[in-house]
Amino acid sequence: MTAVTETRIALPKPPSKVGPTIWSIVVGLVIVAAAWGLGADWAKLLDLPRAAWEYAVLMFQSPDWSRLPRALFETWRSISMAWLGAILCVVLSVPLGMLAARGTGPAWLRYLLRGLFAVIRAFPEVIIALILLTVTGLTPFTGMLALGIAGIGTQGKWVYETIESLDDGSAEAVQAAGGGRLAVLRWALWPAALPSLASFALYRFEINIRTSAVLGLVGAGGVGEMLSNYTNYREWSTVGMLLTVVIVATMLVDLVSGALRRRIMEGAQARGMDRSS
């Protein structure tokens, strides 16, 4: 009996709930303060579903297809802007991201590049486009540069995180054979990281497709600029047609890009085994 009593006395006390409770209250107060600072009109927010349905009827009840050829051309310009921006982003971010990975470059360069990536991520594509407008003007080329530069921050982070997550076995084998840092990058890290990096590049292209429409709103060209112009003139039937084209084009690009990314990550051999099973 005494042994049982001593065992019960020795049991640890349950953790205190004071700390989690205080943090929950603090987080709740921050959320309330943030919502209060927005100055939201809750009456209008409750009326949002009715207004959204009203505008949806105006846009999609009878879309104006007379401007479809121009819409398709501007959509192609947006896709081109997104694709070239993704290529520019990948070409710059892959070597820089590999140098920013732990064990591939000197510490001072690694911290410098990671800081650069963080600074680039702090600037949205729209802000970069507005800065570039003063030099390159209101052209799709500006949008392409903005997409390419803005993507370096995120893409570079993906690259060095991918490199750091790889197995060290192949790198150690190259080093044991007398290879230096460049040999390790070329023969060990690059082949192992290539499928993931190619998948990230295609994903960057998907992101650029959506962002290119937003850049058009600030005059960078493409279907976004056309959409902004007709929205300002309240030509809702044309806006509905443009939104339909954008949605269909985005879904097609996502479908093709998603299939390519699955093919890259799974590999042709794995897919062949799935079919045989």
**pLDDT tens column, 116-130:** 999 999 988 888 888
**In the predicted model, what is the mean pLDDT of residues 90-94?**
91
Tell me the domain boundaries of the chain: 71-264
pLDDT in tens, 251-261: 888 888 878 87
DSSP output for the chain? -HHHHHHHHHSPPPPPSHHHHHHHHHHHHHHHHHHHHTT--HHHHHTHHHHHHHHHHHHHSS--GGGHHHHHHHHHHHHHHHHHHHHHHHHHHHHHHHHTSTTTS-HHHHHHHHHHHHHHHTS-HHHHHHHHHHHH-SSHHHHHHHHHHHHHHHHHHHHHHHHHTS-SHHHHHHHHTT--HHHHIIIIIHHHHHHHHHHHHHHHHHHHHHHHHHHHTTT--SHHHHHHHHHHTT-HHHHHHHHHHHHHHHHHHHHHHHHHHHHHHHHHHHHHHHHH-
Q: What is the pLDDT of residue 271?
A: 46
Summarised one tens digit per residue, pLDDT across range 134-167 is: 888 778 888 899 999 999 999 999 998 888 887 7
Contact 160, 94 (CB under 8 A): no
Q: Using pLDDT thresholds of 50, 70 and 90, give the confidence band for residue 179.
A: low
Least confident of 58-62, 159-163, 178-182, 272-276: 272-276
Of the two residues 222 and 240, the one the predictor is more confident about is 240
CATH 3.30.300.160 for domain 71-264, yes or no, is no
Rounded mean pLDDT of the chain?
A: 81
What's the pTM value of the predicted model, to 2 decimals? 0.74
Report how far residue 115's alpha carbon sits from residue 131's, in angstroms, rounded to the nearest whole number. Answer: 21
Placement of tokens 């003007």 in the chain: 137
- Give the pLDDT of residue 216: 77
Return the percentage of the chain with pLDDT > 90, whole number.
16
Higher pLDDT, 9 or 55: 55
Residue 269: pLDDT band with limits 50, 70, 90: very low
